[in-house]
Chain A
Amino acid sequence: MITNWEVIETNHMIEKENLDVRTITIGISLLDCIDSNLDKLNENIYNKITTVAKDLVKTGEEIEKNYCIPIVNKRISVTPIALVGGVACKSPEDFVTIAKTLDRAAKTVGVNFIGGYSALVSKGMTPAEENLIRSIPQALASTELVCSSVNVGSTKTGINMDAVRLIGEVIKETAELTKENDSLGCAKFVVFCNAPDDNPFMAGAFHGVTEADAIINVGVSGPGVVKTALEKVRGESFEVLCETIKKTAFKVTRVGQLVAKEASEKLGIPFGIIDLSLAPTPAVGDSVADILCEIGLEYAGAPGTTAALALLNDQVKKGGIMASSYVGGLSGAFIPVSEDQGMIDAVVAGALTLEKLEAMTCVCSVGLDMIAIPGDTKATTISGIIADEMAIGMINQKTTAVRVIPVVGKGVGEVVEFGGLLGYAPVMPVNQFSCDDFVNRKGRIPAPVHSFKN
């Protein structure tokens, strides 16, 4: 029988430590919507999304009531649109009509983001994929809820540097087109190496072609819970520290597993994976950086940060992996700057730089995330930053990503407001030396030697 103490502990985590389920994301395949007529294609897409996901929000709210656990986001991911629209779309403008359809469908079913305005070009780009990539600035400027991603590299294929170069320009253009809102469009676009097919988190969620027709993926969270648990073991050994993180991650992930199973039953859609990421929010006490401080750092970014993060990431996986049979997605600690109050504080204090963040991405789940950089940063410099991050992913056989926002009209030290879960961020300095001649080379970086495993 459940004891009073256990009930109190769970409810304390929910009420005081921001324990929540970060997202229920339905992945929907749009491959059966393909049509050579653009209007028909748009109609098919709208109908499929609004049919499959029509009960998502209601079901999510019902589960919230049953367990008194907040489910912060209900979202949709779809098949990469470059594949879906390839036949019908002859120009970037054609692709933008699909973005608008996705936006409309998302608003109809009441989700807060829809992901999958994407292209997978890790080795090469088809004309359709290039058109989609070129349409991204316009698509993000003319929609609210659409998120976009491009996979430009993998351990198996190497890095498509032509795409990396193009994306540097795409990010600059997106920033320009959304400059009225602090270049917010860039916050909805992420570039990946080794992108997972089943990631439920935005902006990078898409429904991979290896997936079923529809699937439920759930992202859990809980930095606040881990931080509070660690407050009780200050000064203890690494063994005690690791044990505490593991136990907490287990409990957090179990809640995600419960919610995923229940959502899957209620919606009649199979359960895919739990993404056991530690995802922070700008709310005080919901910060990954605060966990690093609790482990023993003055600020995130201090010497020891990479080691502390590596330890944290590994223990979260070890605890979480036993809590669910199907773990996937990104699964690790997220280190976005603008979405984490502790990270923002570290940047403001001068403890955390872009270069340190890059080192941190070698040992955690994603990459350079939600980082505001000066608006006058060159496109080639952005491509250089992306190439570095992609190389880390490629060589370490892990997912890496870049979501940087060159904020038009703002310089180092100024503050950018994105609002809501996207938070706010101080503009960070970027290394000013040129990488033009590197980025302007044509072709791709070959796959690393350790990818030849066959």
Chain B
Amino acid sequence: MEKKKVIITVLGKDTVGIIAKVCTYLSENGINILDISQTVVSEYFNMMMIVDLSKSEKEFADLSADLENVGKDLGVSVKCQREEIFEMMHRI
């Protein structure tokens, strides 16, 4: 399967260094970030990242498992989803 864009969402209680930890992991694995946006709604941290997996050695399944662990260390939930599900639902 061709590797494409992946949406990473981080959801949890706001603490220091969430973005830093996730970004460090991504840069160490050669994954380019295309877009980041974040909001904090009633102390809950909500970040969305669009990353490009095409130049990375990482398989989607590994990325997903690794980031879940990064999230666990920070006490937040990190979720990876291939972009197509959002494209399909929200674009005609």
Contacts and interface: CB of A to CB of B under 8 A. Distances in A.
**Co-assembled chains A and B:** yes
Interface of A: 1-4, 6-11, 62, 65-69, 251, 254-255, 257-258, 265-266
Interface in B43-82: 46, 48, 50, 60-61, 64, 79-82
B56 to A, nearest CB: 16
A6 B90 contact: yes
Nearest to B80: A68
A119 to B, nearest CB: 38
B89 A6 contact: yes
A1 to B, nearest CB: 6
A415 B55 CA distance: 58
Interface of B: 1, 7, 9, 34-35, 37-39, 46, 48, 50, 60-61, 64, 79-90
Nearest to B39: A4
A10 B86 CA distance: 7
A175 to B, nearest CB: 43
Most chain A CB inside 10 Å of its own CB: which residue of B9, B60, B83, B86? B86
A65 B85 contact: no
A67 B81 contact: yes
Contact of B83 (A2, A9, A11): A2
Most chain B CB inside 10 Å of its own CB: which residue of A10, A62, A265? A10
B51 to A, nearest CB: 12
Given A1-B35, A7-B9, A11-B79, A69 B48 contact: no
Most chain A CB inside 10 Å of its own CB: which residue of B79, B82, B88? B88
Given A4-B37, A11-B9, A65-B64, A255 B90 contact: no
Chain A binding surface, main DSSP class = helix
A186 to B, nearest CB: 38
B79 A68 contact: yes
Contacts of B85: 10, 67, 69, 255, 258
A258 B37 contact: no
A7 B64 contact: no
A4 B46 contact: yes
Nearest to A259: B85
Contact of B86 (A2, A66, A266): A2
A65 B87 CA distance: 17
A255 B61 CA distance: 20
B32 to A, nearest CB: 14
Contacts of B50: 1-2
A10 B79 CA distance: 13
Nearest to A2: B86
A62 B88 CA distance: 18
B79 A255 contact: no
A265 B7 CA distance: 22
A265 B84 CA distance: 15
